[in-house]
Copies of this chain bind each other. A is one copy, B any other.
Amino acid sequence: MARPKNAFYAQSGGVTSVINASACGVIETARKYPDLIGKVFAGRNGILGALQEDLIDTGKESDAAIRALRYTPSGAFGSARYKLKGLDQNRAEYERLIDVFRAHNIGYFFYNGGGDSQDTCHKVSQIGEELGYPVICVGVPKTIDNDLPFTDCCPGFGSVAKYVATSIREAGYDVASMAATSTKVFVLEVMGRHAGWITAACGLASEKAGEAPHILLFPEIPLDQKAFLARVKETVDTHGFCVIGVSEGIRNLKGQFISDSGLRDAFGHAQLGGVAPVIANLIRSELGYKYHWAVADYLQRAARHLASKTDVRQAYAMGKAAVELAVKGHNAVMPIIERVSDVPYKWKVGQVALADVANQERMMPRDYISPDGFHITAKCRRYLSPLIEGEDYPPYRNGLPDYVRLKLSSVKKKLSTEFKP
């Protein structure tokens, strides 16, 4: 029997509250195949760890620590916003990766990220072949933006969806209590610059007419200021208050980002970011309502305390499936989630070739947004609802979630050369 090859696992791009559940799935499953997979090395700060030969030996972490990854948000090994260029533009980076893989007897590459990362994963598989050091490359899908193609949803998204829907419902109850004498309008800004999936998830909180949120502003729908303000007024007139969920990426009718619309601080510095304050201020200027606004930012994607059980399970399943595909000899593929039925929600694990995934973005279908552009449709609700099902609470200590910190032991370097990004 061939000597087992080691594996390399890396986290990529913006982290989520469940990307570590995928890491847990990868590592726990790899430990079940000692004849095929030797050590699992993780990249310190994602792919940079491979380029810089800065590897973490996950074998030094106890079973309990690895198990705790399942309920620990963030990227435990460090992630990176580092996109490898095309093979033609920067062949040296790919060759460096293969050098490091070869030096550490790495025969499996599991890359946990979004579309760009899957593209990289695909290229690594090609270049390895070309350089006579074949590596089995399997992607593990991750992105809160829910914009990967083929998979029914992306691990990471369901928990953000649950967080924003819960938060806007809770804020809606709050504003409803205050509206008679105080705040009448509340604006919550959520992530999702290009696709409105997270904004749409806010809409799940409103199950009956009149419930918050009353208005959603999607990045897909240019903001028609007049129609929007009329809708705000109508909502306050009818229900006494108005709760709005807004994407960070909304644009005006000219196509400009609202967040770029010229905010300046006292020192004259431009662009603080933040769409919510701009929208809130517009409402006050034009309609005079007292407002409050919130920007959830990282809180939404780090909120493991409120993760969706469905999402956690799927994140783990994707990590597990990636290893199972690899040990079966599948190469340049990514496991995906395939929906079997909406009600009751059933799903299974499928797979797709990385060549097909690369450089495709899945946008929200227009028929998921109501004709007037201000809310979600029943079809959208049917799609989103199962993704936030179930709670999966972390353990608490001293009143706070007891998340794990790994040892992150470095693997001794074997190469004499250094890589400068």
Interface residues of A (CB under 8 A from B): 11, 14-15, 17, 45-46, 48, 72-76, 78-82, 162, 165-167, 169-171, 173-178, 180-183, 186, 188, 204-205, 207, 261-267, 269, 272-274, 276-278, 280-282, 285, 292-299, 301-306, 308, 385, 387-391, 393, 396, 398-401, 403
Contact = CB atoms under 8 A, between A and B. Distances in A.
A288 to B, nearest CB: 13
Contacts of A173: 72-74, 302, 403
A294 B301 CA distance: 12
Contact of A389 (B169, B296, B398): B398
A301 B175 CA distance: 11
Given A79-B178, A295-B293, A305 B170 contact: yes
A5 B301 CA distance: 52
Contacts of A205: 400
Contacts of A399: 162, 165, 204, 308, 385, 387-390
Contact of A82 (B171, B181, B294): B181
A397 to B, nearest CB: 9
A277 B267 contact: no
**Of A81, A207, A263, A302, which is in contact with the most chain B CB atoms at under 10 Å from its CB?**
A302
Contacts of A269: 281, 285
A342 to B, nearest CB: 13
A190 to B, nearest CB: 11
Contact of A298 (B73, B171, B266, B301): B171
Contact of A261 (B81, B167, B265, B400): B265
A81 B178 contact: yes
Contacts of A294: 294-299
A47 to B, nearest CB: 10
Contact of A74 (B15, B174, B182, B292): B174
Contacts of A15: 174, 177-178
A401 B263 contact: no
Contact of A180 (B45, B174, B281, B387): B45
A299 B297 contact: no
A272 B262 contact: no
9 contacts: A81-B178, A169-B400, A170-B401, A204-B398, A204-B399, A262-B266, A269-B285, A274-B293, A388-B398
Contacts of A183: 298
Contacts of A297: 171, 292-294
The 10 closest A-B pairs by CB, nearest first: A262-B266, A388-B399, A74-B173, A75-B177, A294-B297, A170-B302, A45-B180, A272-B277, A174-B302, A261-B266
A72 B263 CA distance: 37
Given A76-B177, A170-B299, A388-B398, 13 more contacts: A17-B170, A74-B170, A74-B174, A78-B176, A169-B400, A169-B401, A175-B298, A263-B265, A264-B264, A269-B281, A269-B285, A274-B274, A306-B306
Contacts of A182: 80-81
A170 to B, nearest CB: 4
**Of A165, A171, A278, which is in contact with the most chain B CB atoms at under 10 Å from its CB?**
A171
A389 B397 CA distance: 8
A347 B269 CA distance: 50
Nearest to A301: B174
A390 B11 CA distance: 33
Given A73-B173, A166-B400, A306 B308 contact: no
